[in-house]
Structure formats: structure tokens, C-alpha cells
Chain A
């Protein structure tokens, strides 16, 4: 660990960003937005649910920018931040998991699973759904829900297409999509 100003390491700059106006106002950040690209495309029609989820996420995002709130001492904040940074490399790879229609998200540690079958079983148990049978050609058949993930490029991919190790290193978060929206995924590009 290098020297340097210790209290500047891992500064959560977003949280200390000065904002004017009441909390809850401010720039909205759309999360889970739609991207156009050559890979398996996301459906372009946004349901009401998605919209409100995105709005909620945006609201949360802007609220997280209130200076000095929650009232945690800088020292403790930086300590946790350092832990998070080092944790990502060393122990535990936590990613968020959302499911369409579920009111809140979950977080899982990918390192705990040895491969796709274990991961899928865990997801199915956590969210009480059945993923169906995966095949490279057709994706997930026979189920209402489809597990997808966002990769490092920001693209939404079908879980299972790439080797497990590659998935572990490129998966930023998971989303269990309603089958009707996932049409187009898994039918080959």
C-alpha cells in the first residue's frame, strides 16, 4: 500500500458532491436503460413497471448524492470503501439481481457458485421461478422467466452463453426477465 494522503483513498466523490435544492431533486440517472447494438437486442417497448423501476432507481441515485448523509464519519466511510475495493478482487463478487415484477433486488456472491447449474438453482430458489432448459441455439425454453446479465460493455446477455469464468469476470449484474420481453433473445442473432 502506497503512502499518500490516506483520507483521500477511496473517496466516495458522488456522495460528497454538493447539490443545491431539496433532497430528491437533481439529475435523474436512468438505470436499466435500453441500448441499441449488434448483440442480442433488448426489447424497446418499456412497460409501466420498467418505467417506474427506472424512476425509482433514478430517485434513489439522486438521493444518494446528499452531502453528509447518512451521517457516517469520513474515516469510517473511507474504511468501508477500501474494503469494498479490495473485496472485489479478493473475496466475494457481489452482483445485484433484479427480477421483473419483484419489488426489491437481491445481491449474490458469484464466487460461491461453481457453475451455471448451481447459479440457476440458487436464482430459482431465491425468486421462486423456473428458468427452463437452456440450449445454445434456443436459449431458455419452456419458462416464463429468462436469466440475463449486463456485461462490462453495458450489453444485456443471456446467462449461459459464455464460459463460466468469462461470465464471472464480465458480469456486472443480473436481471431475470419476463419471458415475453425476452423474445428475440435466444433465437440466434
Chain B
């Protein structure tokens, strides 16, 4: 900042040298704080730019890699999210976009000191992984969650070339699993790994290679095995790495001899620092008891890949006095959830997934009693994800009366449009109770038979709401209007199969620029409505995904997001982009 000579003003005399300012600002880590700081004045903007080490980009199309690299040339860590969340449920075509390659190309020259890359719902090819491994000499940490487009060959190049790798975290991806040889690509003297998660993969890795790797990496804290990992192997790994803080076990159903069981139990007993346990595909009740000695400090237990029954859960929980987060399948039933309520006073988060989401005859599910039982025993509950086949307004009201601190309330009654099964009324009052009682509510997912009244409640009471997910609900455009008018902090809105049309879409005109994105599918929005929106708001990208055979004027799936990068140029033919520019 160049100043013409002037009287020394108070601001000049208190100006810090840039280096000092940068050091001070470096102590601020929250992106929100950093963003606020950068708006104070040009000096501070510049200091923030040079000292920012981590960037979080919630929508990869909201900004271009060039802009990011130009503004933050010294970043070490990038988190990038790509496709809309509903791509998790097959609602987005495979070739939609969100390819990471263009980002890597720019970063290779603009931010060559990049050390960490965390990607969610991005397209990542083997070619990109190889480029990453070869062009960023300081690269240390790679995390891929819900990505697709790569194979185990890509992992092999990362293992081969990233000499300082500390983290390799491969979760829930659409990965082409060719062989387990990638693990053997780590050099024999490589020992820096702290996080290794390959639970996503099916093909088996060489057990000897894995064991030698684990014993070399003395700083290994997180180890998540894949399904084919046997109990025998697990036992040896635990003995070799008792310092683990997070463990993902493999398959847990083998029949063990008494001796083997004792050895396994002993191995678990060596692990005094475990705070997270997951994996356990097909755990048998008997084998589970081997895990008890490791549970005394457990804060997060993820049993959502094995159909645990209520007696098994009831036997396990008393060994986990510090449990704060629990993920299970609905096979545990209401009785299992009663055990949760009875044994987990510190519980803050519970997620109950369906064992058989498409089999409506299955009775091994949870009902409203289960969720009430948990709320009665766990007053600190603030996060719930609950899949069920029946619910009542009264039960939900009881739950939020017991636990008014919910920040995340996600209820999925699996039959679309199902009413309260005791009164046959809509579930409006349930969600009304939630938004009235839970002042800190940030994320809400609603389901069941719902009229515009639900949305009226949401708009009126959910003043801190940031994310709302809606399906098969509402009676008219009013529903969406209530939300757009009332929820001033809303950042993400996803809607499917609701009777909201152009009037509803356009009612949010003023809001979309302060939101990350809007998704509307199978609603009543038309192409013309999208065109109007794009015309009025040039800094939004309005995209329409057309389905085969639908009417020309229908906007089957609409995705609207704010951007400083203009309309994207990599959209496939089935995606129409409307822009006011």
C-alpha cells in the first residue's frame, strides 16, 4: 500500500510490520474468523492471504483454482467438495463434473507446497493421483471420501512416490478395486504413516507387507482394515501397534478356539488409547466379547456394518462408559436402544441405519419407543440420525423435551408421506416441536406426511438453521416461501418430490447469494423459471439436469449455487447451464 507523504496518523504509528501481523493472524484458524479479518483493511487482507495455510471450499464450482492460488499462494492444506449431496443417492449423473484435475494443474505451479488434500464427492482419476504424487514434493496427507473415478493403481502411485506420506484415508468411494498390491508399493524403509484407512477396499492386501508396515510406523494412530482382514491378522497387528487411537476391525465372524479368543482379548487389552472403534463386518456375539478390554476410553463406536442384536449391544455398552457417539443398525431394535439409554449417560450423537432399507416387511426395526428411550437416558444428545418405519408426533415432542440441545435432527420415516401411525395426522407437530424447543438447531431433515404448516414452523422458529433436507412434503409454494423468508442463516437447501414451483423458486431470489447451494428435483419448477432466476441473479449458476424423456419445459433437477467463477465449462450435455452473464 503506497501512501503519499502525510502527517503521521495514529494508524501509521501503530502499524505492525507485515511479518508480525502475519504471525498474529496465523493464530486464527477458523475460516470464518480469517474471512472476517481479511475484510478489515488492505493490509490485513494481504497479511491473511500470505499467512493462510488452510482453505475450505464447500463447492468446487463456487470459485476457480486460479483465484484460489492467486489469493493464497502459501496454502498447505485444501478441502474440496464437489457434487451435490444427493449424488450419494444416485440422483446425479455419473459424468456431472467436479473433476479435481484442473485444480491440481493450477496448484502444481501456484501452490507447490501443498501438503494435504481432502476431497469429498469429487471425480478423481488415476492420472490425477499420479500427477499429485509426482508434482508436490511435500505432499503428506490424502483423504478421499465418496469420490469416484480411480482404481487401486492410483493408490499405488501415491504409495510409491509420496516419500513423506502421513495420511492415506480412503473412505466410501466408488473405487475400481483391481488388486491389493498397492500396499506393497510403500518403500521398505518408509515409516511416516500416522493414518491408514483402507476399509473401502475388498481385495486383500499382502498380510506380511501390512504387518511390516505397521510395525515400522511407530507414529501410526489410525488403522482401519478392510473386510477381508482376518481376526488372526488383527490380533498380530494390535500386538504390534498398541498405541492406536482409532481402529477399524475387519470381518469379525470367524469361529475362534478358546485359545484364539483369549489371545485376541489380550491383544485388545493392550490398546489403552483407543477412542474410536469401527468396522466389524458380521460380528458374532461371542467374538465381540474380545473387544471389551479396549473399550474403557472409547468415545465413538461405529457398529453400523454389522446387524447387532439387542442382547449383544446390551452386553457391550456397559464396557463403554465414556461413549459419546454411537452408530448402529436398526437390528438392535427398541430394546437395544433402551440399553443405550440405560448405559450411555454421556452420549451426544446417535445414528441408527436401516438393515433392510427396501424390505418393508422386516420387523427388526426401531420405532418411536426406541428414540424416546435414548432421549430419556441421554440428556446431552445433540445429534440424531434415525431411520424408522413409524413415528408419532408425541414421541418426537417427548424427545426434544428431554434433549433441547439438538444441533442436528435428521429423521427419516422410510415410507414417503406416512402420517403419525397412532393419530393418522400429519407429522407437522413433530417438527414444530423440534424447531420450537431446539434453539441451536443447525441441520434438519424432515420426513413423513407434512403440510405447509411444517414449513411455517420452520420459518418462524428455526432461526439458526443452516441446512434443511426435504422430501415428499408440503402442499404448495407457500411451504418453500416460509423457509426462504424465515431462515436467514440457511446455507444449504435440498428438496425432492415436493409441490414447489417457480413461485417458490423465485421467492428465494434474495437469499441464494448468501447460501452455498439449492437443490430441487422432481418438483414443479420449469425451464422458464430457471431462466428468470439466472437473469435476475448473475452471480448464481443455475443448472438443470434433464432426464431422458421428460417434457422440454420441465426442470427435472435444479441445482443453484453462488459463484465468482462464472458458468462452468465442463458440464456434460445433459446439464443445461443458465447464467445471467
Contact residues of A with B, CB < 8 Å? 1, 3-7, 9, 12, 14-16, 18, 20, 22-24, 60, 63-64, 66-77, 79-80, 83-84, 91, 96, 104-107
Contact = CB atoms under 8 A, between A and B. Distances in A.
Closest 10 CB pairs of A and B: A68-B89, A75-B172, A7-B174, A6-B177, A105-B361, A73-B88, A68-B91, A70-B414, A3-B178, A70-B357
B174 A74 contact: yes
A85 to B, nearest CB: 12
A70 B362 contact: no
Contact of B363 (A6, A20, A104): A104
A80 B356 contact: yes
A70 B411 CA distance: 11
B252 interface: no
18 contacts: A1-B203, A3-B176, A3-B178, A7-B173, A7-B174, A18-B547, A24-B416, A60-B360, A63-B360, A63-B416, A70-B412, A73-B146, A75-B146, A76-B172, A76-B353, A80-B357, A83-B281, A106-B363
A115 B178 CA distance: 44
Contacts of A63: 360, 415-416
Contacts of A66: 416
B148 A7 contact: yes
A55 B228 CA distance: 42
Interface residues of B, number: 52
Given A70-B414, A73-B88, A73-B146, A6 B201 contact: yes
Interface string B149-189: 00000000000000000000000111111110000000000
Given A1-B203, A3-B177, A72 B416 contact: no
Nearest to A23: B416
Contacts of A6: 174-177, 200-202
A60 B418 CA distance: 13
Contacts of A64: 358, 360
B89 A72 contact: yes
A15 B358 contact: yes
A66 B521 CA distance: 13
B495 interface: no
A101 to B, nearest CB: 16
A12 B305 CA distance: 17
B567 interface: no
A65 to B, nearest CB: 9
Most buried by B among A72, A96, A104, A107: A72
B354 A68 contact: no
Nearest to A106: B363
B405 to A, nearest CB: 25
A23 B497 contact: yes
A71 B90 contact: no
Contacts of A73: 88-89, 146, 172
Given A70-B414, A72-B353, A83-B305, 6 more contacts: A68-B86, A68-B89, A71-B88, A71-B89, A73-B88, A77-B357
B5 interface: no
Contacts of A77: 357
A69 B353 contact: no
A17 to B, nearest CB: 10
Nearest to B88: A73
Nearest to A75: B172
B387 interface: yes
B452 interface: no
Contacts of A91: 253, 282
Contacts of B549: 20
Contacts of B353: 72, 76
B81 to A, nearest CB: 15
Contacts of B179: 3
B550 interface: yes
